[in-house]
Amino acid sequence: MSSNASCNLLKDVKPFKTGWRVRVKMLHSWKQNFGGETLECILADETGGKIHASCKRSQMFRVQRGLPIGEWRFVENFTVSQAGGQYRPTNLQYKMTISGETVISKSDLQNNNHFLDLA
């Protein structure tokens, strides 16, 4: 299950399908309350590519348990949409949405890079 051959990098995910499989590490998360509580987070892949991800309140606790900060995980079956608005926490033009169909599983990757990128 930890084979890299079946994983996509974050820079390669596009909105046209939901069957993506990526290996990511959560760098940061926060709760937001605009029209409903959501969990927002920044995920990074092994090359340092970052994406903004979010989930609704109904998935919040499952995602917090499944994606602990600093731990590598596989994430499958999520949706990707255009990142809009005035606030974009990453340079990637897309945003990941984690839903009830999203599968989060452990990865054996060992990489302690913090992927810190100061402006």
Domain coordinates in residue numbering, the chain: 10-106
Closest Cα to residue 11, out of 112, 110, 70, 93?
93
pLDDT at residue 6 above 70? yes
> Which carries the bigger pLDDT value, residue 16 or residue 66?
66
Closest Cα to residue 102, out of 46, 61, 63, 45?
63
Band (45; pLDDT cuts 50, 70, 90):
very high
Summarize pLDDT for 89-118 with one digit per residue, the tens: 888 889 999 999 999 999 988 777 666 664
| Average pLDDT for 5-16 | 88
Query: Which pTM does this prediction carry?
Result: 0.86
Q: Which pLDDT value is given to residue 114?
A: 67
Please provide the average confidence, as pLDDT, over all residues in the chain: 87
From residue 53, alpha-carbon distances to 43, 78, 82, 90, 104 in Å are 7, 10, 12, 10, 13
pLDDT at residue 63 above 70? yes
Q: Which pLDDT value is given to residue 71?
A: 92
- 43-78 burial string, b = 16+ CB within 10 Å, else e? bbbbeebbbbbbbeeebbeebbebbeeeebbbbbeb
| CATH architecture of structural domain 10-106 | Beta Barrel (2.40)
pLDDT at residue 25 above 90? yes
pLDDT at residue 1 above 60? no
Q: Report how far residue 43's alpha carbon sits from residue 93's, in angstroms, rounded to the nearest whole number.
A: 14
Q: Report how far residue 95's alpha carbon sits from residue 14's, in angstroms, rounded to the nearest whole number.
A: 9
Q: Which pLDDT value is given to residue 116?
A: 61
